[in-house]
């Protein structure tokens, strides 16, 4: 209980975000842009990510509140602040965390056809989203006394969490001067998955002036399902066995799935380009180590009828009755879930070509690069309740050959003031990049509702 | 070159910001003060008596029975789990009697542990007499407060015993006695 409350409050507004990587999208100096759009422009012959260090991504946040709302050092009683925040949050507010770590990322230009670029690798991903279970938070924090005759809805319980490894291989082709097309096949190996969504039913305490007792406590049309996979077999294991089991699942021993990323870059002219991509269009079949918990039914409780005459019968047992009315079934039937589909799109205008004739800041034989670009990007991610959206304005600046940057301004579910910045250094073949958003919030992270951070090392030729 | 220096400076600043970011104006020690204080309303016992449950209606009205007792025992886990016992500040048991029978009734209840040994006191209350069948019922309300002491004593309660007693009844009595009740549980859970 304590841990749960801690987590709930601690994670409230610590961080917020979806999987939007607005600074990295279409940042074609980095091979990681191919992970967001397999049809991105490729201007290098070969790349290799430094194993385990080529891409780390953390993206977390909360829609609806921040740490500051609860823990502000303002002399007010913390319980008042919790109550205020509780009243402000709705069941559409959520907490999300995404973390990714690339183990391997390699790419090379085809020897037979220099218009084709292959890339592949392995990464691990943790994806968590939990909607705020407002009605049950109210029930736990305030009780039912002030909420008589008002239903507490089981539909408030919604969330999912998954840990998986992804094996991928991508194909990128310059179809002609105006079009680049790309696709990436993905094989998912799910290590752990839990999901509860589309629950139904209500719990209500109604006043019954004409009834047998003062109230009726009614569970109506309850239909609550929690699906898990990869959980049951871990329960009995300890320490090292758990680690071995998890590693085994990461190495394709988990529940497997297939998916695809698709993307394109369309060059309207030399300077104007349009891009689009769909990521993780796929599904996972959960058939191993599956346990689904399901509770369905109706129940009315109105106290105990006593004393009654001739009470020769067995007395009521409230818990037995409840279990009979709303049985909890444990099923092990296989199930399928879609991966959270992400869509990206952008329009980019490049200008200020570095072309004064004295330049040595681009690789010989290539077109001189544009030093500046600006444009618009859109992002959507499908989630259990409804899609998340984001729109960004961006400015790309190649300060030097060894230092390239991108500044973004994003409007999304969490805030209207999200400024992001990406810095990429290219010293000889060695590349390092770091990116973060919500920079305006950095002076005081407690007020931030979300942070996204990416960094990594590559060798790019 | 000057502009380039400015650029480098700006970038350095950008990186610096990422490292100097911090959490200000917040006091996490406040966690110690968090207390959950929900109040739950839960039905308790109910019952309904017609006079013919106390006395055979065919009996000669001249015969008066000095005392009738209806008693009952039922499995009842008043306080549920240790969590509830440890964090329960107070329980208010509210009883509401509606009576049209022209007699006072005494209602008693108490708790037994698993070995059928009585724990805690016997709680007792009087439902005032009514004015006969067809009249407005006379309403008696009683509240019994269980404080932390009483809650600790009753933490092993496994059964509820209750009884209704009425004196001097005869077959000419008419009417209904209704009992409705609820428990109001005041939780105070400190992290």
Per residue in A44-68, pLDDT (tens digit) is 999 999 999 999 998 877 777 777 8
Closest of A206, A226, A225 to residue A216, by C-alpha: A206
Q: Which pLDDT belongs to residue A309?
A: 65
Q: How many other C-beta atoms are found inside a 10 Å radius of the C-beta of residue B116?
A: 10
CB contact (8 A) between residue B43 and residue A309: no
C-beta of residue A304 within 8 angstroms of C-beta of residue A316: yes
Q: Which fold has domain B36-190?
A: Jelly Rolls (2.60.120)
- B24 closest CB neighbour out of A142, A317, A446: A446
Q: With contact defined as beta carbons under 8 Å apart, do A419 and A164 qualify?
A: no
Please state the domain extents for chain A: 2-460
At residue A10, the pLDDT reads: 36
3-state secondary structure chain A: CHHHHHHHHHHCCCCCCCCCCCCCCCCCCCCCHHHHCCCCCCCCCEEEECCCCCCEEEEEEECCCCHHHHHECCCCCHHHHHHHHHHHCCCCCEEEEEEEEEEEEEEEECCCCCCEEEEEEEEEEEEEEEECCHHHHHHHHHECHHHCCCCEEHHHCCEEEEEEEEEEEEEEEECCCCEEEEEEEEEEEEEEEEEECCCEEEEEEEECCCCCCCEEEEEEEEEEEEEEECCHHHHCCCHHHHHHHHHHHHHHHCEEEEEEEEEEEEECCCCEEEEEEEEEEEEEEECCCEEEEEEEEEEEECCEECCCCCCCCCCCCHHHHHHHHCCEEEECCCEEEECCCEEEEEEEEEEEECCCCCCCCCCCCCCCCEEEEEEEEEEEECCCCCCEEEEEEEEEEEEECCEEEEEEEEEECCCCCEEEEEEEEEECCEEEEEEECCHHHHHHHHHCCEEEEEEEEEEEC
Chain B: closest CA distance from residue A457 (Å) = 16
Instruction: Collect all residues with Cβ–Cβ distance below 8 Å to A336 and sequence separation of at least 6.
Output: A283, A284, A285, A286
Residues of A in contact with B165 (CB under 8 A): none
Nearest to A421 by CA among A383, A394, A460: A394
The mean pLDDT values, 10 residues at a time, for chain A of 461 residues are 40 45 92 96 93 90 78 86 88 87 95 94 92 91 93 93 95 95 96 92 94 94 93 80 82 90 95 96 93 94 81 63 88 90 95 69 63 95 81 94 93 83 93 88 68 90 88
CA distance A11 to B168: 67
- CB-based contact A19:A99 (threshold 8 Å): no
Is A214 close to B181, i.e. CB distance below 8 A?
Answer: yes
Q: Which of residues 72-111 of B touch A (CB under 8 A)?
A: 72-76, 83, 94, 96
Higher pLDDT, A31 or B55: A31
- Option in B25, B41, B191 nearest A73 (CB): B25
- Is residue A213 within 8 A of residue B182, CB to CB? The reply is yes
Q: Does B62 touch chain A (CB under 8 A)?
A: no
- A317-to-A295, A324, A326, B183 alpha-carbon distances in Å: 19, 11, 14, 18
DSSP B80-140: -SHHHHHHEEEEEEEEEEEE-SSS-EEEEEEEE-TTS-EEEEEEEEEEPP---TTSPPEEE
| Calpha distance B90→B96 (Å, rounded) | 19
For B44, which residue in chain A has the nearest alpha carbon? A303
Main-chain phi, psi angles of B154, to 5 degrees? -90, 5
B47/A444 Cβ within 8 A: no
A67 contacts on B by Cβ (under 8 Å):
23, 26
Residue A225 to residue A295: CA distance in whole angstroms = 7
Encoded tokens for A78: 């913390």
For residue A141, report the phi and psi dihedrals to the nearest 5 degrees.
Answer: -90, -35
Q: Do residues A49 and A55 make contact, with C-beta atoms less than 8 angstroms apart?
A: yes
Pairing, β B39-50 against β A304-305: parallel
What does the alpha-carbon distance between residue B127 and residue B177 come to, in Å, rounded to a whole number? 9
Look at residue A9 in the predicted model and tell me its pLDDT.
Answer: 36
Q: Chain B neighbours among A 277-336 (CB < 8 Å)?
A: 301-309, 311, 315-317
Q: Which two tokens stand for residue A170?
A: 């991508």
pLDDT tens across B140-190, in order?
Answer: 999 999 999 998 888 888 889 999 999 988 888 889 999 999 999 999 988
Partners of A77 on chain B (C-beta within 8 Å) are 33
- Mean pLDDT across the stretch B61-68? 88
Question: How far does the CA of residue B46 sit from the closest CA of chain A (Å)?
Answer: 5
| Continuous segment of H or E residues that includes residue B6 | helix B2-20
Closest to B11 (Cβ–Cβ): which among A1, A215, A423? A423
> What local confidence, expressed as pLDDT, does residue B3 receive?
44
The pLDDT score that the predictor gives to residue A186 is 97
Which residues of A, range 382-401, sit inside 8 Å of B by Cβ?
Answer: 399-400
Asked if A225 contacts A329 with a C-beta cutoff of 8 angstroms, the reply is no
Q: What tokens does B86 get?
A: 């440890």
Nearest to A144 among B35, B41, B53 (CB): B41
> Which chain B positions have a beta carbon within 8 Å of A423's beta carbon?
11, 14-15
Identify the residue with better confidence: A294 or B17. Answer: A294
Give the pLDDT confidence score for residue B127 in this predicted structure. 94
Q: If you count residue pairs, one on A and one on B, with CB atoms under 8 Å apart, how many are there?
A: 170
Contact A143, B38 (CB under 8 A): yes
Distance of alpha carbon B157 from alpha carbon A118, whole angstroms: 72
CA distance linking residue A226 with residue A294, whole number of Å? 7
What is the average pLDDT score of chain A? 87
Q: How far apart are CA A335 and CA B105, in angstroms?
A: 61
Tokens, residue B53 = 């449950």
Q: Which of A10, A58, A205, A304 to mutate to test the interface with B (most CBs of B within 10 A)?
A: A304
**CB-based contact A304 B48, cutoff 8 Å:** no
Q: In this predicted structure, what is the pLDDT of residue B91?
A: 93
Rg from Cα positions in chain B: 31
In this prediction, residue A12 carries a pLDDT of: 34
* B1 pLDDT more than 50: no
pLDDT in tens, B75-128: 887 666 777 778 899 999 999 999 999 999 999 999 999 899 999 999 999 999
Name the residue ranges covered by the structural domains of chain B: 36-190
ipTM of this complex prediction, to 2 decimal places: 0.82
A residues 148-207 lying closer than 8 A (beta carbon) to B: 148, 205
The region that residue A60 occupies, defined by phi over 0 for left and psi between -120 and 50 for alpha, beta otherwise, is: beta
pTM metric for this prediction: 0.77
What is the structure's pLDDT at A5?
40
Q: Do A217 and B43 touch (CB under 8 A)?
A: yes
- Separation CA A302–CA A305 (nearest Å): 9
A385 — alpha (psi -120 to 50), left (phi > 0) or beta?
Answer: alpha
The answer to whether the beta carbons of residues A86 and A137 sit under 8 Å apart is yes
Q: What is the distance between the alpha carbons of residues A234 and A232, in angstroms, rounded to a whole number?
A: 5
Q: pLDDT tens-digit profile of A331-346?
A: 999 999 889 899 999 9
Contact A145 B41 (CB under 8 A): yes
**Of B110, B137, B142, nearest to B123 (Cα)?**
B110
Cβ of A304 within 8 Å of Cβ of B160? The answer is yes
B167's enclosing H/E stretch is: strand B159-169
Q: Is A29 left (phi over 0), alpha (psi -120 to 50) or beta?
A: alpha
For position A410, what pLDDT does the model report? 92
Assigned CATH topology for domain A2-460: Porin (2.40.160)
What pLDDT does A444 receive?
A: 65
């Amino acid at each position: 209980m304590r841990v749960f409350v801690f987590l709930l409050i601690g994670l409230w507004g610590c961080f917020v975000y979806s999987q939007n990587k607005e600074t990295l999208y279409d940042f074609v100096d980095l091979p990681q842009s191919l992970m967001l759009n397999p049809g991105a422009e490729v201007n290098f012959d070969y790349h290799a990510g430094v194993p385990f260090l080529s891409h780390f991504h953390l993206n977390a946040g909360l829609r609806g509140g921040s740490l500051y709302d609860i823990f502000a050092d303002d002399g007010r009683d913390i319980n008042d602040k919790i109550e205020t925040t509780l009243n402000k949050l709705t069941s559409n507010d959520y907490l999300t965390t995404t973390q990714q770590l690339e183990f391997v990322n390699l790419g090379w230009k085809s020897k037979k056809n220099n218009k084709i670029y292959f890339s592949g690798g392995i990464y691990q991903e943790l994806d968590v989203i939990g909607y705020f279970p407002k009605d049950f938070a109210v029930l736990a924090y305030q009780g039912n006394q002030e909420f008589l005759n008002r239903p507490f809805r089981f539909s408030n319980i919604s969330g999912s969490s998954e840990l998986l490894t992804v094996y991928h291989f991508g194909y990128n082709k310059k179809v002609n001067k105006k079009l680049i097309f790309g696709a990436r096949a993905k094989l998912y190996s799910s290590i752990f998955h839990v999901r509860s969504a589309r629950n139904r039913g209500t719990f209500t305490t109604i006043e019954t002036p004409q009834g047998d007792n003062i109230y009726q406590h009614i569970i109506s049309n309850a239909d609550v399902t929690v699906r898990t996979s990869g959980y049951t077999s871990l329960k009995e294991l300890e320490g090292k066995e758990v680690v071995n089991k998890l590693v085994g699942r990461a190495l394709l021993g988990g529940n497997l799935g297939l998916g695809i990323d698709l993307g394109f870059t369309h060059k309207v002219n030399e300077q104007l380009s349009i891009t689009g991509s769909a990521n993780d269009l796929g599904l996972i079949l959960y058939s191993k180590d599956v346990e689904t918990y399901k509770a369905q039914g109706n129940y009315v409780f109105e106290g105990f009828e006593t004393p009654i005459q001739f009470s020769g019968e067995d007395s009521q047992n409230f818990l037995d009755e409840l279990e009979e009315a709303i049985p909890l079934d444990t099923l092990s039937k296989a199930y399928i879930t879609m991966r959270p589909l992400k869509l990206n799109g952008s329009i980019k205008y490049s200008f200020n070509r570095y072309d004064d004739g004295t330049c040595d800041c681009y690789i010989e034989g290539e077109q001189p690069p544009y030093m500046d670009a600006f444009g618009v990007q859109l992002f959507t991610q499908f989630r259990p309740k409804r899609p998340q959206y984001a729109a960004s304005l961006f400015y790309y600046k190649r300060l030097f050959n060894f230092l390239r940057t991108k500044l973004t301004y994003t409007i999304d579910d969490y805030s209207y003031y999200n400024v992001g910045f990406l810095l990429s250094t290219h010293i000889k073949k060695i590349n390092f990049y770091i990116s973060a958003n919500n920079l305006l919030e950095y002076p005081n992270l407690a007020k931030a509702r979300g942070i996204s951070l990416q960094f990594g090392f590559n060798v790019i030729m | 070159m000057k502009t380039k220096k400015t650029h480098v400076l700006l970038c350095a600043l950008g990186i610096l910001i990422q490292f100097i970011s911090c959490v200000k104006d917040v006091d996490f020690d406040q966690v110690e003060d968090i207390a959950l204080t929900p109040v739950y309303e839960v039905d308790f016992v109910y019952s309904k008596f017609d006079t013919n449950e106390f006395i055979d209606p065919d009996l000669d009205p001249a015969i008066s029975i000095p005392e009738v007792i209806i008693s009952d025992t039922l499995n009842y886990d008043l306080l549920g789990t240790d969590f509830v016992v440890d964090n329960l500040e107070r329980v208010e048991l509210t009883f509401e009697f509606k009576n049209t029978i022209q007699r006072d009734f005494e209602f008693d209840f108490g708790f037994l542990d698993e070995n059928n040994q009585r724990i805690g006191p016997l709680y007792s209350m009087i439902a005032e007499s009514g004015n006969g069948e067809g009249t407005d019922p006379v309403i008696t309300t009683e509240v019994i407060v269980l404080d932390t002491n009483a809650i600790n004593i009753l933490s092993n309660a496994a059964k509820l015993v209750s009884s209704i007693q009425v004196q001097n009844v005869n077959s000419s009595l008419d009417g209904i006695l209704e009992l409705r009740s609820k428990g109001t549980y005041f939780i105070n859970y400190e992290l």
